[in-house]
Structure 1
Amino acid sequence: MRFARFCQALSNWAGSPKTFLTAIVLIIAWAGTGPYFHYNDTWQLIINTSTTIITFLMVFLIQNTQNRDNDILHLKIDELIRATHEAQNATLGLEKMEARELRKLRDRYRALGESSEIDVEPIHDDGAR
């Protein structure tokens, strides 16, 4: 649980405008030191190593937060399906289906939507609420 909170906090920080601005400033500072170091291999290695390490760690951070958000979304949708009497409760176990079965089910729902007699008016956003 502590790891999930840590990842969420780190993800929020990493996605903030301040962090992006800090990264831009660091890159500009690094680029500005190029003439001083004569654009040598060590100068290039600093940015390459730094960005590689940060990218490597961010992949795991992003995957963790995406998995958590995905699980939360699925739980909310599952609860809506469970609470709606007209819903197909069989859809609660879709994650156990193979890709071929999911495609067949998607095609079935698409056909239901196309054959529906309900005419849905497009929503026009005129700014009024």
Structure 2
Amino acid sequence: TFGMTPTRAVLFYGPPGCGKTLLAEAIANEYQMNFIRISGPELLTMWFSGSEAKVRDTFGKTRQVAPCVLFLDDLDSIAKSRNGSFGDGGAADRVTNQILTEIDGMSAKKNVFIIGATNRPDIIDSAFLRP
């Protein structure tokens, strides 16, 4: 304990097929928590603000079924560094901002643990890597 609070999220990284998803499922099973798996590209839509709405809906469902592990697979596809150079009109930045807002809104009382997974930690926005 040492006066520290437990983390609400963690990032797994490694090459494809190394067991990141299996480890996340094992954590949920060990603690008898619900498990929701979302792949990053599943959150993206071609409609303006559709992706942000999907992020809000996903986090809303997660809160409803708490205690829960939310597993965000392929996080690098939706949480790239925000610099506006992807040619998508800022859509990627808006999705990243929405995910960060939802994570910040999670309180310890919600009993939701977030696990992100990527094979490219070098392109993940630095806000996801802060404690």
Determine which structure has greater relative contact order: mean sequence separation of CA pairs < 8 Å that are 6+ residues apart, divided by chain length.
Answer: 2
* TM value normalised by structure 2: 0.23
TM-score, normalisation: structure 1: 0.23
- Whichever structure has more helix as a proportion of its residues is 1
Who wins on radius of gyration, i.e. which is larger? 1
